[in-house]
Structure 1
Amino acid sequence: MKYLDQSILDLLKKGGFVLYARHGEATVGRDQPYLNFQDCYTQRNLSEVGRREAIYFGQMLRYLQIPISSQIVASPFCRTIETVQLAFPYANVQIDPFGYEIFKLGGNIPIVEKTNILSNLQSMLERKPPQGMNQVIIAHSFPEGVGLGKISNMGMVIVKPKGPGKGYEIVKKLTLKDLAPLDSSSS
């Protein structure tokens, strides 16, 4: 995957996808055992690189003219909310507490809880966005082989929802670099 190929871009321009992205690089601070979503000092936050990644991500989706719903879903962490605000300054941020559940998959949780979270994830990814739009979700990576798997900083998984109870398909996983426009100067 060196770039976003034209066939994928054409599909995205028609809408109907969930664009699940991980937040930008977060290296500032630590997630405290008793983190408080209203207190960013109790959690990891975006680094300067992470802020630039978030801005670039939003710029690239606009440059590529990918239609996105004006309501962007974010996990309740400061790093995901800030990512949305930097990437989509005019968007309406919908904070979804389920992002915390996804985050918990990286920890040591009972198998019953893990199964429940993955079932809820499936329901979320089966929902089709508004006609002609793509739904952006900014949240967290997953452990290897779980959910959508490992996602790089500001990486994105293109998901095709098949409708409630019908599952979803992972169309493509992209890194932030994959969104870069092709170099048109071929000599």
Structure 2
Amino acid sequence: MLRLVLALFLLVVPSLAHATDAGWALLRDGGHVVLLRHAFVTGATDPANFDIGNCATQLNLSERGKQQASRIGALFAARAAPIDHVLSSRYCRCLDTA
């Protein structure tokens, strides 16, 4: 039951998250963390021959995802304070979004 509640929560929360002027102001003040999921991808799961060191074997960003990642980067460049550092998993879709 707990897993079901957590799954429903994780499905609802992203739809509630959106940037506001107040949120951008908080980021410019510093001392905050932004957590993002990777941009749109080409499918639903990694292929059977998945290899974390080989992007060709992974689920990767779609063209729409590449555009989305670029827009996210441009938005942060225009609205937020300079970023101290970016952490990402080793999945290519995450690195490409970051």
Between the aligned partners of 1:9 and 1:65, the Cα distance in structure 2 is 6
2:95 maps to what in 1?
A: 81
Between the aligned partners of 2:27 and 2:44, the Cα distance in structure 1 is 36
Query: Once superposed, which parts of structure 1, at least 4 consecutive aligned residues long, lie more than 4 Å away?
Result: none
> SS state of the match for residue 42, structure 2?
strand
Between the aligned partners of 1:78 and 1:58, the Cα distance in structure 2 is 17
Note the C-alpha offset of 1:20: 0.5
Superposition pairs of residues 35-184 of structure 1, within 5 angstroms: 35-69=50-84, 71-84=85-98
Q: Percent identity?
A: 30
Note the C-alpha offset of 1:30: 4.6
Long gaps (5+) in structure 2: 1-15
TM-score normalized by the length of structure 1: 0.40
Question: Higher strand share goes to which structure?
Answer: 1
Between the aligned partners of 1:65 and 1:11, the Cα distance in structure 2 is 9
- Pick aligned residue for 1:11 from 20, 26, 45: 26
Aligned-residue Cα RMSD (Å) equals 2.3
> SS state of the match for residue 64, structure 2?
helix
Give the residue type in structure 2 aligned to 1:81: L
Question: Higher helix share goes to which structure?
Answer: 2
Long gaps (5+) in structure 1: 85-187
> SS state of the match for residue 26, structure 2?
helix
Between the aligned partners of 1:24 and 1:60, the Cα distance in structure 2 is 14
Between the aligned partners of 1:83 and 1:27, the Cα distance in structure 2 is 14
> SS state of the match for residue 13, structure 1?
helix
Aligned residues: 83
Note the C-alpha offset of 1:47: 0.3
TM-score normalized by the length of structure 2: 0.71
